[in-house]
Structure 1
Amino acid sequence: MSILITLLAFAVAIGILVTVHEFGHYWVAKRCGVKVLTFSIGFGKPLLRWQRGEVQWQLAAIPLGGYVRMLDEREAPVPAAELNRAFNRQSVGKRMAIVVAGPLANFLLAILVYWAIFLNGVEVLIPRLGSIEPNSIAAKAGFLTGDTIVAIDRESVNSWAEARLGLIERAAAKASIQVEVVRPNGGTVSRTLDFADIDNEWIDGDLAGRLGMSIAVYRNELGPLLTDGAAAVAGLKQGDRLWKVEDKPTPDWNSFAAAVRARPNLPTHISVLRAGQPVEVRVVPKSVQDGDKAVGRIGAAPALDMDAIHALNKPVQYGVISALGQALHQTWATSALSLKMMWRMLLGNVSVKQLSGPVAIAGYAGKSAQYGLRAYLEFLCLISISLGVMNLLPVPVLDGGHLMYYFAEILRGRPLSERAMELGQRVGVGLLAALMVVAVFNDLTRLVGG
């Protein structure tokens, strides 16, 4: 059933995003007096098509995109009576407007959906740290359990999502940052995080966890276990109360996890309490690479204190104008972060392993759909923004590549030669093909590794 949900959620998302993008091109083309011949959702052989006025509407076999085909002398002869409606005969300003309308439609969709979300009211998670991993970067920097993050480099932080994004952005810049936190006793202190030597592969959505900080509050017992993991095979069970590892007391999850991580491939005696009675098992933690060192894993997760986590929820209600402001800010901030991450990936500050392809996107679509409508709508906004940003990149075959040609035409006073544009198209196709290969490889690596 989860596979069906994933496929359906992915298909609906792609269908909506492609339709909105192509409708942007279509709507502006019609307003500019250009004749539209075909509006296609998908590539390849049409599976369903119908004629409405001058336009042939169709659904095609390959659902990973779409196109709007306009009257154009470069593609086929145009009757003299319709030359004024050909795309290539339009002013450079009109052509630029038609091209940029697709990405702008994606940004507009994100703004409208975010607006609806904020109008409905949202709940944010207070950025209060419920767990600090011993000997982690966060622990060495002086963060403590119960600290509430209130600012990063003097920019106020109001939610855990803002804190995570702030850390990711600054880590990608390899910056040293100041994080202000309010202590449980009410005092405010500043802590320094230095990202100069951080592993590029750490810069992803789990960066905070890699630094050793989380808002999660753990009970001192085992949570879900992998059925084929070392813990389950040895006889440990979910709900077992943590007690000792190699006769050393481990009264909480952090001390238990640290003791297990320190013993990769080493026979380890673990003692737990089950129904108040001591139970001892012998486990051999599997050795896995974590950065430049091997650590032990037994296939066990901590038990979350859901009451404590729910207590972090803070309801926020917006009015019509303030909700629109939040929607614009969210769309702008996400767009800016996407561009910064792409640029830093080119500079080598962020690993190309962060690129995701259709398999990963489909997985995110399925997970968000199972979490509920709001999560799915937020996923839709994120992908819509990403689609808009990507299409504005100055890469031939993308909308941004065409804009680049038109800017060159403005500077030169005449269009680029057919030869130059053909060469650009080949380079653009090569670049996109290479990116797709890397993204799909990353998807498959995650599947195999997961």
Structure 2
Amino acid sequence: MPDRHSARAVLAALTDDFQPMPTPAADPHEPDGPIEWWGYAAAVTKAEENTGELESVLCGVGTVGGVRAVLVAFEFGFLGGSIGGRTGALVEAAFAEAVRLRLPVVSLTATGGSRMQEGMRALTQLQRIANAMHGLRAAGLPHIAVLRDPTTGGGWATLGAGADVTLALRGAQVGFAGSRVRPEGPADAYTAESQFDTGQVDQLVTLTELPAALGRWLTLLTSPSDSAPVPAALGGFALPATGWDAVQRARAAARPHAAAYLDSYFDWWQELSGDRHGGRDPGVLCGFGSRAGRTIAFAAQCGTATLPSGFRTAARLVLLADRLGIPVLTLVDTPGAANDSAAERAGLGPAIASLFDAIAAARVEITTLLIGEGGSGGALAFAAPGRTWCTSDSYFSVTAPEAAAAILKHGPGQVPGIANRLRLRPQDLVDLGVAAGIVCPHATAPGSPR
């Protein structure tokens, strides 16, 4: 069932040392609010009596999974968790306290949106909250959102969708339009599951799973490593004799792929899912992993043609990691960018450009390992200039040998010879200065056989 637990019940499930911040008293000069909505004062009094709370949000500091954080928990029983003037003031103060204490923020939303009885003053609280969120980002601190039931209106469009990482409780109603104001029709788009499928939510959890999941994310986002070491190769070390041999070895189904490298490199890792623009690419794994107790971010291609959403998700990952001071590992393995008409309509060019720009602008260390196919610009967008290594069962090429043959109007029989002429083998990449070296299996540092 969707979660309608009280704010205090959810907080109690997450932390046993919650220290609340004070709630400001209502303005005695505006008993019925800024627009003098008749009966508003009585409604607030009834909400206080029913919930035991003074406002629709509780803010304070507590420890979750061993990490201290500022917690912002909405009480849906208080006027539908609606956002009014005091709500905005409390959320603003909580984010300011997080900046002062250098702590992450966890927002636990359950809200129907802005408080109608306060008119436009209530709606402008969204600007106030957005400004507070910007201050946290500028301070290099993370914000994790947990979407409870329901999360709609301005609460979704600020604290929910604007967080660095967004978790959602299974079965929750999530969407900008609430159930009473949306157009008639299927409601499946307004669910946590739909928001996950379309790249707006990173992880779906149950209330029982929430404490552990939240603890993992808080640990990852607050424990940056100093660097991203080059992974050891998982395959063999014998180098390919020809370019065509390199292509065939990189395309072999049995060679190690991205998930195997992530499992070998990290003690454990957590996936960041979706591009926040309506898409998910199952062929790109992005997220954060723990290695010897410190966090490294990763963006890994899984051997398929990369979709626009894959490039945007990787750019999102690099930008977030850079802001939090977390180094990044990228794994390159793709025959190239998806270049069909659907990809073009989905903004393929701008998506690739966004990743090139994110890597170019990054201040943290980015390390790249080519683990399979390196197909043209769709692969290069994932690669760090000057810090790219390769395995012996990989290749990197300006274009696929088959595409080069087509451009030159040559037949299929000439593809192997063209592959040889493209100088795409690992050892060729080192000679050309494209790769810094070829990694050895089980190596502790990158090395070259040359």
TM range (shorter): under 0.3
* Richer in strand (by share): 1
For normalisation by structure 2, the TM-score amounts to 0.20
For normalisation by structure 1, the TM-score amounts to 0.20
* Richer in helix (by share): 1
| Higher CA-based Rg | 1
